[in-house]
Amino acid sequence: MPQQPSRFDPVQIFGLIVAVGLLIGGQMYLQKKHEAERQAWLKTQEEQRQQQPVPPANVTNASPQATPNGQPAPGPAPGPAPVGPADVEPADAGDIAVESEYLRLVFTARGAALRQAVLPDQFIRPAKKEEKGLELLAEIEPGKLTYALPRFEAGPPEPGRNQERLVFDAVDGPLKALSRRVWALDSNSKGFDADGRWTIRYSATVAQKYAITKTFTVYKDRRYVELEIGVDNKSAAPVTFSYSLNGPAGILLDGPPEDPKGNPYVYIVAELAGRDAPAPNQQDLTPDVLQVSPQTAATGGVEKANISRAENLWGAVKNHFYMADLISLDPTQLIRITAVPIASKPQDIDKRLAEPNTGVMGTRRDSSALEPGGVSRGDRYALYLGSSDEDCLAQAEAQLKPPQPLYLSLAMKYYDMGGYRWPRVDWLARQMLAVFRGLHWAFGNYGVAVILLTLIIKLCLHPLQRKQMVSMTKLQKLQPELKKLQEKYKNQTTPQARQKMWQEQQDIMRKGGASYGAGCLPVFVQMPIWCALYGIFGRAFDMRGAEFLWIKDLSQTDRLMPLPFWPQELNLLPVIYAGLNILQMRLTPQPKATDPQQEMQQKMMQFMPLIFTLMFYRMPAGLMLYFAVSAIYGICETWYIRKFLLKDQPAATPPAGKGVVAAKAG
């Protein structure tokens, strides 16, 4: 009697050890890798700060261009120029707090900038539906504030030897940067007027030649803050000017200070939009959008961190579900929009400040000549502060009434990989999100919507799945013939013999209606769907705080309970999915292995559910719910196909005479 094979052979034991090791060690590796990347990013920032020269306080710069960090472009240093008596800064008027329906803002006279922005109607902890008042903007890096002017340059249009342009970007002295000065508070309406506007105006004089004004307008029922910058030429000669304007100086992660990320796939990124000038008869031109990570902003160089077109529209900084977007209401007034690094605070108790961050800066084109006593027409900007929701962005754009579309909704995309957009997957995600919203409207719960959408998708894929199982069953029945064919060519190793064997094998499979490729087709078809769903649950604002059963937030891991022996919490859905996968593999017909290599491959496939558990353990709960429901549906589908579609057909009735002879022979 042949010896029965052992239940667990060395290959299976080794595979089990590897899978468990990956499951436990993989999480530790991901945490260490993330920390190493953060430390490398901080080291790069520190090296750049040490290498950055500090310009002398008594030296001007004749170049009309500036580098993205607000410093003068490299070039020959001009000699000192007369700057007149030092400007006298007024007394600090203190901070001004403004609260509207959607925004709670704090303006400061130092730099005439926006110090803090809070969304009063948004939850800090969406899973618990508590603590409204989500902080979006703050002074993450000291000295960098939103709407500040870190660099201002002015002077004659064609500077001569004794008339150099003045560049105000120094830390101190006569050429002190406007972002570091105290501005005079000219007016503060101290409330919303009849039109629902709250207006604040600051002014500053530089070199006693140029008076600069900044006028902020907050609307009672809008999600953006407008800014108008004007320049008054008090000198005796025509001048031109340019400046660098801070957009959002970084953004805070949209979670509580002790755990703002929730999962490792949350990150901060900048999106910059610009386009070429439209043709004379062209009224609508879609901009190009450049995505810049904090790492690229810090180390990628200027060419990878800015967009410079004829029209530069906006620069947004996004966290998980929210964004702050600097919008140029005259797209031609900026020569470039740049993503700039923002220094983090790794040792701070507030974990929102510990992550790599990036800000946005706009560089003003050199203005047209401004005559003595002339006042420039105001440069107009807006800063959108709110959710990354297409409807909110579209509403803000309609309220701004730009002369041409700004395409603010392009700042929101549901899927990207490697910094590149995937338009077809993004389009699919938008269509599926529309279905989600319809199902949520009908049933009132996004978890139920996930289940119903899963059933819809699986029913649409049923013909492919049925074809796969039928093909695999036929392939299993053809194994004896395929094994005979392999035995026939066992000792023939020439290329001609191998080619002939392959042709005969394909002929057998074609006549038997089997195909190896049919087993992979459903997987390839579903990959875009998986990517689209990942984008939806990772970025669609609708999913923030969506509950289902024990899941408090479908955009985060399900977090059933803490584990005393592991720093991570128990996420039950990946474990359920692994168990259902194992059961489904047991029910799915597999062709019998005909050689040791194929047998080893099949044994290793038995551990794929555990590997998938590792891969998906930190995925959003909504996506894992889709996988779990898909597995349950797959088990039912497999049972149905095997029970009703793959029944063995009765053998054909033998021809007359042959059956009698066979019976007698028996």
Which whole number is the average pLDDT over 468-483?
70
> Computed from CA positions of residues 550, 553, 554, 556, in that sequence, does the dihedral angle turn out positive or negative?
negative
Same domain, 455 and 525: yes
Which residues are registered as beta bridge partners of 104? Answer: 99, 118
**SS3 track for 46-91:** HHHHHHCCCCCCCCCCCCCCECCCCCECCCCCCCCCCCCCCCCCCC
Same domain, 391 and 314: yes
How many domains, the chain? 2
pLDDT at 235: 86
CB of 96 closer than 8 Å to CB of 188 = yes
Q: Tell me the CA distances in angstroms from 543 to 364, 412, 417, 423, 555, one per residue in order.
A: 38, 15, 21, 21, 6
Same domain, 454 and 382: no
Same domain, 368 and 313: yes
Beta strands across the sheet bearing 334-342: 166-168, 151-155, 240-246, 357-364, 334-342, 306-307
* 39 inside domain: no
Enclosing domain of residue 115: 94-412
Which segment of 204-213, 294-303, 440-449, 475-484 scores lowest on mean pLDDT?
Answer: 475-484
Radius of gyration for the chain, computed over Cα atoms and rounded to the nearest angstrom: 33
Which whole number is the average pLDDT over 561-586?
77
| Confidence (pTM) | 0.77
Nearest CA-CA partner of 87 in 211, 236, 201: 211
pLDDT tens-place string over residues 104-142: 999 999 999 999 999 999 988 887 777 889 999 999 998
Give exposure, 430-464, as e/b (b: 16+ Cβ within 10 Å). bebbeebeebbeeeebbbebbbbbbeebbeebeeb
pLDDT at 3: 41
pLDDT at 586: 73
Identify which of 292-306, 470-484, 520-534 has the greatest average pLDDT.
292-306
> Computed from CA positions of residues 284, 290, 291, 292, in that sequence, does the dihedral angle turn out positive or negative?
negative
**The residue type at 266:** V
pLDDT at 298: 84
539 pLDDT exceeds 70? Answer: yes
230 pLDDT exceeds 90? Answer: yes
CATH number for the domain including 231? Answer: 2.70.98.90
pLDDT at 541: 87
Q: Report the distance separating Cα 558 and Cα 561, nearest Å.
A: 9
Backbone region of residue 92 per phi and psi (left: phi > 0; alpha: psi in -120 to 50; beta: other values): beta
- Using CA atoms of 308, 312, 318, 321 in order, give the dihedral in degrees to the nearest 10: -140
DSSP strands (E only) in 293-411: 306-307, 311-318, 322-328, 334-342, 357-364, 379-387
Which residues are registered as beta bridge partners of 187? Answer: 201
84 pLDDT exceeds 60? Answer: no
Which segment of 146-155, 210-219, 654-663 scores lowest on mean pLDDT?
Answer: 654-663
pLDDT at 7: 46
**The residue type at 308:** S
**SS3 track for 462-522:** HHHHHHHHHHHHHHHHCHHHHHHHHHHCCCCCCHHHHHHHHHHHHHHHHHHCCCCHHHCHH
Q: Report the distance separating Cα 632 and Cα 621, nearest Å.
A: 16
Q: Report the distance separating Cα 74 and Cα 283, nearest Å.
A: 39
* 156 inside domain: yes
Q: Pick the more confident residue, 312 or 416.
A: 312
Same domain, 393 and 538: no
457 DSSP assignment: H
pLDDT at 656: 47
Q: Tell me the CA distances in angstroms from 37 to 405, 515, 521, one per residue in order.
A: 39, 45, 37
Q: Which two tokens stand for residue 511?
A: 């006549």
* 18 inside domain: no
* 441 inside domain: yes
* 16 inside domain: no
> Computed from CA positions of residues 587, 590, 595, 600, in that sequence, does the dihedral angle turn out positive or negative?
negative
Same domain, 333 and 452: no
Q: Pick the more confident residue, 413 or 176.
A: 176
Same domain, 335 and 466: no
Instruction: Provide DSSP, 229-276.
Output: EEEEE-SSS-BEEEEEEE-------SS-TTSS-SSTT---EEEEEEEP
> Computed from CA positions of residues 120, 125, 128, 131, in that sequence, does the dihedral angle turn out positive or negative?
negative
Same domain, 547 and 640: yes
Which segment of 321-325, 587-591, 635-639 scores lowest on mean pLDDT?
Answer: 587-591
Q: Pick the more confident residue, 650 or 359.
A: 359
Tell me the average pLDDT of the chain. Answer: 78
* 36 inside domain: no
Which segment of 35-44, 354-363, 430-439 scores lowest on mean pLDDT?
Answer: 35-44
* 151 inside domain: yes
Residue at token pair 């993989």: 26
Instruction: Provide DSSP, 139-168.
Output: --STT--BT--SEEEEE-SS-BTTBPPEEE
Q: Tell me the CA distances in angstroms from 17 to 215, 491, 577, 616, one per residue in order.
A: 65, 37, 20, 19
Same domain, 353 and 450: no
pLDDT at 420: 56
**The residue type at 607:** F
Which segment of 5-9, 329-333, 453-457, 601-605 scores lowest on mean pLDDT?
Answer: 5-9
In which element (H, E) is residue 201 found? strand 197-206
Which whole number is the average pLDDT over 448-459?
90
Same domain, 537 and 407: no
24 pLDDT exceeds 60? Answer: no
Q: Which of 381, 412, 443 is the last residue of a domain?
A: 412
- Using CA atoms of 162, 166, 170, 173 in order, give the dihedral in degrees to the nearest 10: 60
Instruction: Give CA 174 to chain center in angstroms.
Output: 42
Same domain, 238 and 203: yes
pLDDT at 243: 95
> Taking every pair of C-alpha atoms in the chain, what is the biggest distance, in angstroms?
126
Q: Tell me the CA distances in angstroms from 265 to 306, 502, 577, 629, one per residue in order.
A: 25, 45, 20, 23
pLDDT at 156: 86
Which residues are registered as beta bridge partners of 273? Answer: 289, 314
pLDDT tens-place string over residues 26-75: 555 545 555 555 555 555 555 554 554 444 333 333 333 444 444 444 43
Q: Which of 412, 443, 461 is the last residue of a domain?
A: 412
* Sequence-distant (≥ 6) Cβ neighbours of residue 201 within 8 angstroms: 185, 186, 187, 188, 213, 214, 215, 216
Same domain, 99 and 142: yes
CB of 324 closer than 8 Å to CB of 393 = no
Which segment of 444-448, 483-487, 625-629, 636-640 scores lowest on mean pLDDT?
Answer: 483-487
pLDDT tens-place string over residues 502-516: 777 777 766 666 565
* 55 inside domain: no
Which segment of 101-115, 205-219, 227-241, 548-562 scores lowest on mean pLDDT?
Answer: 548-562
pLDDT at 205: 92
4 pLDDT exceeds 80? Answer: no
End-to-end Cα separation, the chain, in angstroms: 27
Which segment of 57-66, 117-126, 412-421, 613-622 scores lowest on mean pLDDT?
Answer: 57-66
Instruction: Provide DSSP, 423-447.
Output: HHHHHHHHHHHHHHHHHHHHHS-HH
